């Protein structure tokens, strides 16, 4: 099995349904490897970084999960590579999506973010994308950035995928990877934590995780920094958080007017019915936070650890665990939506708790939208580099395997597994060539911190992470 490189999207629709135990699968569409290669080209993914290896079938899976002391049915997307013939089976890659407001923007409805799964799966991965509670086919209110339900949506989709092996014709190799961006970064960290620290890991031990730009420290970083400015780029997120959490906890308020001023306490709730976009809800919010939130409320919450909102925030912090497997947290320093300090707080706490495998990596001076492609594409490359071929003895990596030391590095790389006369080039994740050369040493003087890809003349490729 030769794993190459990865990135982004597309799809259309189809039919077909079958019943299996507690999950229902519906074939949504099929992608050929050629279509996926063309899609990668449309989105600017260089062909020397991405090779579509397999056709892919996309399914919508309906499955049960626990929620509010009950069992509910939720949905998610499942991407299965076709013609995969490795005896040891497929690795699982759970991708957690970012913030959406409309139910039909969920992955299993072939949303833009959901369509990433085809490109991930064509490399030889079983890709799972939960829609979350209240999104996709779930009619409930979505409890936005609620760690327990995010994690459960991912874990119970993993169980459903495991139960579908015989019916859909695949086997699993026991490697379990998690990624996600923005809210998906928070959800990815929640699921990774639970696979590493609870009985969930008995079924699916965590292999590695790469969350991007997630609000891991809601109580101590994300919430306080949000209210340091007079405005916030997406006030709809704040209303989503308050209304969503209250639908789960029921303790944040009795009347929303305790939190928000009028007319917003009255006009905002009907917009969270799963049919309106972020643009619609943002347009219904006032231009400043002072006009939205009741006077004195923020100070009262920040100064009272027993306030119901602060209690909920602390319950949904997801950074306070010590990973024993690789966890790479990507962030960008101009992120105006999820503040990069979340990643620094998380990595520092993990290091103080004894973890040597958790890293926070600066992708550069980009805003939240600009950072998304770098983190998602870079995270996929990172996972692809972590996947182990079942024919390889993990204790005996041959000299012919292209590697870089150290990686990440703050000052240059030494290459191994490459002929000294082999030409190579270094590209940014946007495909811009910044260096060509040959030999075993890379001088990174003048490079900005971030991720790069080294590609050799014979088509081998290697992700490089430069820190400063």
State pLDDT tens for residues 158-174. 999 999 999 999 999 89
pLDDT bucket at 430, cuts 50 / 70 / 90: low
Q: Are residues 236 and 284 in the same domain?
A: yes
Domain boundary residue among 315, 334, 364? 315
pLDDT(10) > 60: no
Q: What is the 3-state secondary structure (H, E, C) of the chain?
A: CCCCCCCCCCCCCCCCEEEECCEEEEEEEEECHHHHHHHHHHCCCCCCCCCCCCEEEEEEEEEEEEECCEEEEEEEEEEEEECCCCCCCEEEEEEECCCCCCHHHCHHHCCCCCCHHHHHHCCCCEEEEECCCCCCCCCCCCCCCCHHHHHHHHHHHHHHHHHCHHHHCCCEEEEEEEEEECHHHHHHHHHHHHHHHCCHHHHCCCCEEEEECCCCCHHHHHHHHHCCCCCCCCHHHHHHHHHHHHHHHCCCCCCHHHCECCCHHHHCHHHCCCCCCHHHHHHCCCCCHHHHECCCHHHHHHCCCCCHHHHHHHHCCCCCCCCCCCEEEEECCCCCCCCCHHHHHHHHHHHHCCCCCEEEEECCCCCHHHHHHHHHHHHHHHHHHHCCCCCCCCCCCCCCCCEEECCCECCCEEEECCCCCCEEEEEECCCCEEEEEECCEECCCCCCCEEEEEEECCCCEEEEEECC
- Tell me the CATH number at 96: 3.40.50.1820
Same domain membership, residue 53 and residue 129: yes
Encode pLDDT of 312-354 as tens digits.
Answer: 999 999 999 999 999 999 999 999 999 999 999 999 999 999 9
**Structure confidence at residue 359 as a pLDDT band (50, 70, 90):** very high
- Statement to judge: residues 148 and 187 lie in one domain: yes
| 395 within a domain of the structure (yes/no) | no
Q: Does the pLDDT at position 205 exceed 80? A: yes
Give the residue numbers spanning the domain of 269: 218-315
5 within domain boundaries: no
Residues 213 and 224 in one domain: no
Q: Is 154 part of a structural domain of the chain?
A: yes
Mean pLDDT lowest among 251-265, 362-376, 450-464 = 450-464
Domain boundary among 315, 334, 353: 315
For residues 468 and 196, which has the higher predicted lDDT (pLDDT)? 196
The domain that holds 414 is classified in CATH as 2.60.40.10
Averaged pLDDT, 116-130:
94
Is residue 199 domain-shared with residue 61, that is, in the same domain?
yes
Assess whether 175 and 269 both reside in one domain: no
Evaluate if residue 399 carries a pLDDT over 50: no
Instruction: State the pLDDT at residue 17.
Output: 30
> Same structural domain for residues 43 and 148?
yes
What's the structural domain count of the chain? 3
**Residue 235: its pLDDT value, please?**
97
Among the candidates 360, 386, 412, a domain finishes at: 386
Residue-wise pLDDT for 206-249, tens only, equals 999 999 999 999 999 999 999 999 999 999 999 999 999 999 99
Mind listing the pLDDT tens digit for each residue in 20-65?
347 999 999 999 999 999 888 877 777 777 789 999 999 999 999 9
Percent of the chain with pLDDT over 90: 70
pLDDT score at 389:
67
Tell whether 165 and 308 lie within a shared domain. no
CATH code, 284: 1.10.260.160
Asked, for residue 449, whether it belongs to a domain, the answer is: yes
Residues 260 and 330 in one domain: no
- Residue 71 sits in the same domain as residue 178: yes
């Amino acid at each position: 099995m030769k794993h190459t490189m990865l990135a982004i999207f597309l799809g259309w629709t189809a039919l077909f349904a079958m019943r299996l135990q507690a999950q229902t699968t519906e074939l949504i569409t099929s992608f050929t490897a050629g279509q996926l290669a063309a899609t990668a080209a449309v989105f600017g993914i260089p062909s020397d970084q991405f090779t579509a290896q397999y056709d892919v079938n996309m399914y919508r899976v309906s499955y049960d999960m626990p929620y509010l002391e009950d069992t509910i049915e939720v949905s998610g997307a499942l991407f299965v590579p076709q013609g995969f013939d490795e005896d040891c089976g497929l690795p699982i890659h759970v991708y957690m999506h970012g913030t959406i407001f409309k139910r039909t923007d969920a992955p299993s409805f072939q949303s833009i973010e959901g369509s990433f799964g085809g490109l991930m799966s064509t490399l030889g991965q079983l890709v799972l994308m939960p829609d979350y509670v209240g999104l996709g086919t779930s009619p409930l209110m979505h409890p936005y950035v609620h760690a327990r339900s995010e994690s459960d949506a991912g874990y119970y989709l993993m169980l459903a995928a495991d139960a579908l092996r015989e019916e859909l014709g695949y086997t699993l190799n026991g490697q379990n990877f998690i990624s996600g961006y923005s809210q998906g970064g928070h959800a990815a960290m929640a699921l990774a934590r639970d696979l590493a620290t609870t009985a969930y890991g008995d079924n699916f031990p965590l292999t590695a995780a790469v969350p991007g730009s997630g609000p891991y420290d809601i109580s101590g970083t994300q919430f306080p920094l949000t209210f340091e400015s007079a405005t916030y780029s997406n006030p709809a997120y704040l209303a989503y958080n308050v209304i969503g959490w209250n639908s789960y906890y029921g303790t944040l308020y009795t009347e929303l007017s305790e939190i928000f001023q009028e007319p917003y306490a009255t006009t905002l709730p009907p917009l969270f019915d799963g049919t309106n976009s972020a643009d619609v809800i943002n347009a219904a919010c006032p231009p400043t936070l002072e006009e939205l939130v009741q006077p004195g409320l923020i100070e009262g919450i920040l100064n009272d650890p027993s306030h119901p909102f602060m209690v909920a925030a602390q319950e949904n912090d997801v950074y306070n665990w010590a990973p024993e497997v690789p966890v790479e947290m990507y962030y960008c320093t101009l992120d105006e939506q999820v503040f990069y300090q979340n990643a620094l707080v998380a990595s520092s706490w993990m290091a103080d708790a004894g973890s040597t495998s958790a890293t926070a990596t600066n992708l550069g001076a980009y805003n939240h939208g600009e950072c998304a492609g770098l983190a998602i594409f870079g995270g996929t490359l990172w996972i692809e580099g972590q996947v182990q071929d079942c024919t390889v003895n993990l204790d005996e990596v041959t000299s012919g395997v292209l590697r870089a030391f150290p990686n990440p590095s703050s000052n240059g790389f030494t290459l191994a597994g490459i002929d000294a006369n082999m030409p190579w080039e270094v590209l940014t994740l946007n495909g811009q060539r910044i260096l060509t050369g040959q030999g075993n040493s890379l001088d990174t003087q003048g490079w900005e911190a971030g991720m790069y890809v080294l590609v050799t003349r014979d088509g081998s490729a290697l992700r490089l992470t430069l820190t400063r």
